[in-house]
Structure 1
């Protein structure tokens, strides 16, 4: 009987820790996209709901919604529709920073994001 209670308590703790890892990505982030001699400041807003990721990306050209967002552990993916072009993004969450790799028409770029306090 004690073993069953211990196992049940352990499972509850593991689920709580896993959910907390997802929830930590929620919030505001900033980064800079560099290509050639150009730099674009980006502001991301992420919201995690279970394994779904939503939010938006703000640039000097406006706000763009995140679509098709998924999160699993510390890895996440989403798409961005920019002027009719679908841009897939793959990211890894590291606590107070993330690294996102974008693929825009075959050109891959990495963006390091830091949390905005």
Structure 2
């Protein structure tokens, strides 16, 4: 009886681990959306994310050009990174969902919340 309970618990835990791993894997790839800046402008942006364990790398693309993600981290469904545009760092924090990512970007004291969706 104890062996059966242990096996059931172990299989349940493995199912949760596989589900969490699927969230990590689902962040890989291209995502796109629009950022509303604090001054009222909008910026079309896309991200190409690559996940390796708890490390997040990739590229952000906007009308100002392509920049690499710096200091990227992912833990569970939460992630963070910065991009440097013309010498200014813009920290991002976000949460991954099955079909979208909700992010906040810091514009030097003012923040903006936006959502990106997978680019097909």
TM-score by length of 1: 0.88
Superposition pairs for residues 1-117 of structure 1, below 5 Å? 1-35=3-37, 36-117=39-120
Q: Write the deviation string for residues 48-85 of structure 1: whole angstroms up to 9, x where unpaired.
A: 12221111100122111111111122211111111122
Which structure has greater strand proportion?
1
Give structure 1 stretches of 5+ with no counterpart.
none
TM-score by length of 2: 0.86
- Two-structure CA RMSD over aligned residues (Å): 1.5
- Unpaired stretches in structure 2, ≥5 consecutive residues: none
Alpha-carbon deviations, 1:20-66, whole Å to 9, x = none?
A: 11111111111112223422110111111222111110012211111
| Superposition misfits of 4+ residues, deviation over 6 angstroms | none
> Is the Cα contact below 8 Å between 2:23 and 2:97 reproduced in 1?
no
Q: How far has the Cα of 1:12 moved from its partner?
A: 2.2
